[in-house]
Amino acid sequence: MKEQRVKGWWFIRFALTLVGKKGIGEMKRASKDARKAQDQTLRSFLTASKDTVYGKEHHFEDILKAEGPEDLLRRYRERVPINDYEDLRSYIERHKNGESDVLFPGKPKMYATTSGTTKDPKWIPITEQYYQEVYKTMNQLWFYTLIMNKPKTFYGKTLSIVGKAIEGAAPDGTVYGSISGISQRDIPAFMDVLHPAPADIFHISDYKARYYAIMRMGIEQDVTLIITANPSTLVEMQNNANEFYDEYVEDIEKGTLSHSRPIPDEIRAVLEKRLKPNPVRAAELRALKEKYGTVLPKYYWPNMQVVNVWFCGNTNIFFEKVRDSFPENCVFHEMGYFSTECRAGIVLKSNSPDTVIFGHKIFFEFIHESELESENPRIYRMDEVKKGERYCMIVTTSAGLYRYNMNDLVEITGFVNQFPTLKLIQKVNGTVNITGEKLHERQFVEAVHAAEKATGNRVAFFIGFADTSKVTYRFYYEFVNADITQEKAENFTRVLDEYLKKYNIEYEAKRSSNRLKEPETALLVKESFEKFKATCIDKGYRDGQFKVNLLMQDEKRHAMFKELVL
């Protein structure tokens, strides 16, 4: 496919470069004195929120009387505990029901929803300040880093896979939805030309129909940038292309959108306005299939410059499946460490996993991995962490998360002046994550008990393991009734799977889109836990300290339970 530059490509590059250089310069200046940047950041958050409910309860005004940075940090740690979402849920509920000045001044701009450790999802508040300073500013800098690494990034179209911008509203009318969808919706008007399809496409509920529409609109274009957080999405896009390639070609030739997919009429009407017959492109695509058989992105998008995607942690499994499907001169740019709760920074260099964290926008603390089980762990400032060491990160943001435990194990990979760079290693404390679902042990346990009630079959022991190679979970049961058949056990898993979908919105989304496959079932021998424990003790575990999580990603322990299958 010949290079087809979008209208106004030069202005897009000029504007992003102008804004990007300014923002990167600000970050690098702040990074020369990390302690000063962190002190100013924390002090500004506390000053803004000292008259809120949370600020008064935790004596922000008294904390701000500190004589210097050390005293400020000491007072802050004394008066504000390390929190998880459940510690803050009651305050957020007050905001959701219309109350102002609870965690922060005023009310949130919106909520971003994600799975929690219980069956109730997290509603993460996004304030206007946080949105402007973190999401909007960091997006501009992120786009600039893409240009720095590949100057032709924005010459062609951008295929960006995001969630619904608006999914609903809290009781007081404040909207909730996908922060990625909101960010795409709010890009500068001069960048609208980059997207081959309107945001309506992400409101198609049937996942195959959604991917069909995305790929039908995208494969016609000269795409030079793909943005999607999880590489499992790229796998599904290619699966869709393999299955429906001939339909794409026919649609492109005629300027239509196939009616074989369940696309709502109102969305179909919006998409069809952008379509017109393109027999030249259709002929190109037919020729590619004749030549290659299976047509990969490197054939239909030969000018691809950047694929912006996660490739750290578990996501690397999916990344390895698709990396060779793209052109050799295409670079992979790590999406960087961020979650619904916190976008910590950006990745400056392509083909690197290193996120530089923005100490002038967010306040960071760290607990070393060796002290995660300690009742009184040492807390490190961001200028005290060491390269090569692993920590759990604690953040304070302008969106009302105070000393919030991110529950992520990260490794310090280096520094930009005094600001650390890091990469995600894995979730900690009972959370398993194969493809973005963040399934918590507590949700799994509750779902098992719900399945017991629904089926009338009680389990004497159960355990679940993530199988990343198969992109699924494998559930093991020892039923009280030893006569339970494999068929009945598999039915138990189907019921359990439905409860997991109810309890975890991310799990439901990944199962619905087939990024997470149907869970597998295994029956255990009698007294399976006792046999497992005996084996562990024989290998040197201390009896008094022996414990086992009921949901794990641990190949060694998984192998031990495979030996206990009937």
- Taking only the tens place, the pLDDT of each residue in 230-251 is 887 888 888 889 999 999 999 9
In a domain, 327, yes or no: no
For the sheet with 472-479, list strands across it: 520-523, 472-479, 459-467, 551-552
pLDDT in tens, 41-99: 999 999 999 999 999 999 999 999 999 999 999 999 999 999 999 999 999 999 999 99
Percent of the chain scored above 90 by pLDDT? 69
Looking at the chain, the whole-number percentage of residues with pLDDT higher than 70 is 98
Whole-number Å distance between alpha carbons of 129 and 132: 5
Which range marks the domain in which residue 475 is found? 431-562
Per-residue pLDDT at 503 exceeds 70: yes
Distance separating the N- and C-terminal Cα atoms of the chain = 56
Q: For residue range 339-357, list pLDDT tens digits in order.
A: 889 999 999 999 898 999 9
- Give the model's confidence band at 544: pLDDT under 50 very low, under 70 low, under 90 confident, else very high: very low
Contact 419, 357 (CB under 8 A): yes
Least confidently predicted of 137-146, 194-203, 264-273, 527-536: 527-536
Task: Please report whether residue 208 resides in a domain.
Answer: no
Chain-centroid distance, C-alpha 227: 13
Instruction: Output the CA torsion 443→445→447→453 (10° steps).
Output: -150
pLDDT of residue 536: 77
**pLDDT at res. 452:** 95
Decide: 94 and 127 in contact? Cβ < 8 Å: no
Q: Of 415, 374, 345, which Cα lies nearest the Cα of 34?
A: 415
Model pTM above 0.85:
no
Within-domain flag for 548:
yes
Supply the pLDDT for residue 542. Answer: 44
Per-residue pLDDT of 146-175, as tens digits, reads 999 999 999 999 999 888 888 899 999 999
465 inside domain: yes
Is the residue at 181 inside a domain? no
Domain tally, the chain? 1
**Does residue 40 lie in a domain region?**
no
Q: Average of pLDDT values for 108-121?
A: 84
- Residue 399 domain flag: no
Report the mean per-residue pLDDT for the chain.
92
5 is a domain residue: no
